[in-house]
């Protein structure tokens, strides 16, 4: 019978398996990218053809039937929209390919440097591993968390601002062509463009706030969380979001503590509203000399926590809590989620998210 692998040997084996999986995904992405490139080329040629057809329509604008003009504009808009979408998908694949390659390179560097990594604490009581040094398992977790966040941001940018800008370009081209022939219609299209730009601008501001609120650096965690919950309370109908503080309201914390607590409560708030359908939400910060406690209590549907947060399942919407829990644990904190229902009595049912972070300078 083979001897059990040491913690270091097990980490090496896990790294090799992860790298092999990345290689497989890189090959799959390469095949999909080739198909997308062919589709982009086809749509580019079609865009040239329909563009030439539209120019012929514009040269004979006064004699061509209105229905033919409409069809020509609809076809150019449809073709360019599909081309923009296809290019966006290709860019996402290229970004994903680049991230996977960078991830693979980092893991290879970790694997190559493991000859100098020591196991801290060796084996504890009962033979349980006390943990690897930061050069081992934690580095892998940090890298994976970074890549996951980059992928999320890339998807959000593509599905949000990138699509809006594409639509603005098309609407601006329509307005430009209409100015001389139909000023009233051009003015109407400009009004629509302005309204769409205003909506998109607000969405981008919300996106920037979620990405990294500037007031977190300027005013600190407490003021930022108060503003964040107030925004939710104002924008959402039939949802009440309240914020309470226990402790001094002007206290600042180390940067990593403020960022981690804000990200954690932000994610809990999103889950409470979007996944648990909560209508009454209370967010509380409790400050002491040595630790910061963040609690979110809400109503809404209750869940089986063991099933929803089972790492082996991998398909629960609440799995994002596992990723956040790992990040919080890397700075010595803890995230807990409790969902309970007492004998069908809805007044005694609810959900509680709890985040505890130690206050210390890195």
**Residue 341 belongs to domain with CATH number:** 3.30.565.10
Domain identity same for 262 and 199: no
Domain identity same for 255 and 112: no
Rounded Cα gap, residues 304 and 224, in angstroms: 32
Residue at 14 is within a domain: yes
Residue at 90 is within a domain: yes
Q: Which pLDDT score is estimated for 268?
A: 93
Rounded Cα gap, residues 157 and 150, in angstroms: 11
Domain identity same for 25 and 62: yes
Residue at 125 is within a domain: no
Domain identity same for 153 and 270: no
Residue at 122 is within a domain: no
Q: Which residue has the higher pLDDT, 134 or 85?
A: 85
Backbone angles phi, psi at 46, to 5 degrees: -65, -35
Domain identity same for 232 and 189: no
**HEC states along the chain?**
CCCCCCHHHHHHHHHHHHHHHHHHHHHHHHHHHHHHHHHHHHHHHHHHHHHHHHHHHHHCCCCCCHHHHHHHHHHHHHHHHHHHHHHHHHHHHHHHHHHHHHHHHHHHHHHHHHHHCCECCCECHHHCECCECHHHHHHHHHHHHHHHHHHHHHHHHHHHHHHHHHHHHHHHHHHHHHCCCCHHHHHHHHHHHHHHHHHHHHHHHHHHHHHCCHHHHHCCHHHHHHHHHHHHHHHCCCCEEEEEEECCCCCCCCHHHHHHHHHHHHHHHHHHHHCCCCCEEEEEEEECCCEEEEEEEECCCCCCHHHHCCCCCCCCHHHHHHHHHHHHHHCCCEEEEEEEEECCEEEEEEEEEEEEEECCCC
Q: Which pLDDT score is estimated for 286?
A: 94
Q: Under 8 Å CB-to-CB from 310, ≥6 apart: which residues?
A: 316
Candidate from 13-17, 41-45, 255-259, 267-271 with smallest mean pLDDT: 13-17
Structure tokens of 154?
């890339």
**Residue where one domain finishes, among candidates 210, 229, 248:** 210
Q: Which pLDDT score is estimated for 122?
A: 34
Domain identity same for 37 and 74: yes
Whether 95 shows a pLDDT value over 90: the answer reads no
Across the chain, what does the average pLDDT equal? 77
What is the tens place of the pLDDT at every residue in 60-76? 777 778 777 777 777 88
Domain identity same for 182 and 262: no
Residue at 123 is within a domain: no
Domain identity same for 197 and 244: no
> How does residue 285 score in pLDDT terms, banded at 50, 70 and 90?
very high
Residue at 2 is within a domain: no
Residue at 221 is within a domain: yes
Domain identity same for 170 and 221: no
**Residue where one domain finishes, among candidates 210, 229, 244:** 210
Q: Which pLDDT score is estimated for 140?
A: 55
State the CB neighbour count (10 A cutoff) for residue 214: 10
Query: 284 forms bridges with which residues in the sheet?
Result: 244, 295
Candidate from 106-115, 204-213, 315-324 with smallest mean pLDDT: 204-213
Backbone angles phi, psi at 245, to 5 degrees: -130, 135
Domain identity same for 54 and 103: yes
Q: Which pLDDT score is estimated for 297?
A: 94
Q: Under 8 Å CB-to-CB from 272, ≥6 apart: which residues?
A: 278, 281, 296, 298, 300, 351, 353
What is the tens place of the pLDDT at every residue in 206-247? 666 666 677 787 888 999 999 989 988 888 888 999 999 998
Q: Which domain holds residue 152?
A: 7-116+132-210
Structure tokens of 348?
């005694």
Rounded Cα gap, residues 259 and 357, in angstroms: 11
Number of domains comprising the chain: 2
Domain identity same for 290 and 224: yes
**Residue where one domain finishes, among candidates 179, 210, 241:** 210
Residue at 264 is within a domain: yes
Domain identity same for 226 and 331: yes
How many residues are there in the chain?
A: 362
> Cα torsion for 255, 259, 261, 266, to the nearest 10°?
160
């Amino acid at each position: 019978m083979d001897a059990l692998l040491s913690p270091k040997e097990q980490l090496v084996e896990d790294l090799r398996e992860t790298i092999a999986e990345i290689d497989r995904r890189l090959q799959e992405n390469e095949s999909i990218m080739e198909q997308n490139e062919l589709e982009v080329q086809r749509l580019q040629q079609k865009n040239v053809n329909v563009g030439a057809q539209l120019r012929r329509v514009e040269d004979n604008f006064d004699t061509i039937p209105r229905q033919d003009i409409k069809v020509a504009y609809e076809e150019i808009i449809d073709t360019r929209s599909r081309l923009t979408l296809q290019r966006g998908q290709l860019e996402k694949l290229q970004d994903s390919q680049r991230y996977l390659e960078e991830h693979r390179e980092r893991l290879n560097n970790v694997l190559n440097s493991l000859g100098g990594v020591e196991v801290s604490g060796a084996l504890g009581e009962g033979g349980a591993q006390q943990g690897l040094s930061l050069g081992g398992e934690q580095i892998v977790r940090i890298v994976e968390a970074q890549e996951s966040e980059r992928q999320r941001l890339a998807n959000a940018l593509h599905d949000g601002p990138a699509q809006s800008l594409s639509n603005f370009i098309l609407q601006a081209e329509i307005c430009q062509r209409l100015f001389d022939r139909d000023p009233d219609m051009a003015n109407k299209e400009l009004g629509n463009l302005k309204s769409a730009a205003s909506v998109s601008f607000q969405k981008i501001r919300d996106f920037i706030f979620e990405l990294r609120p500037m007031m977190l650096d300027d005013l600190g965690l407490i003021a930022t969380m108060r503003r964040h919950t107030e925004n939710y309370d104002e924008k959402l109908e039939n949802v009440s979001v309240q914020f309470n503080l226990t402790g001094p309201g002007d206290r600042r914390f180390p940067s990593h503590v403020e960022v981690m607590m804000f990200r954690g409560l932000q994610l809990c708030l999103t889950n409470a509203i979007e996944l648990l359908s909560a209508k009454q939400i209370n967010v509380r910060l409790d400050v002491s000399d040595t630790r910061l406690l963040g609690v979110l209590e809400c109503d809404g549907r209750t869940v089986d926590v063991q099933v929803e947060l089972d790492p082996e399942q991998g398909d629960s919407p609440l799995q994002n809590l596992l990723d956040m829990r790992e990040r919080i644990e890397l700075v010595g904190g803890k995230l807990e989620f409790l969902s309970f229902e007492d004998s069908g009595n809805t007044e005694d049912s609810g959900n509680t998210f709890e985040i505890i972070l130690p206050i210390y300078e890195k």
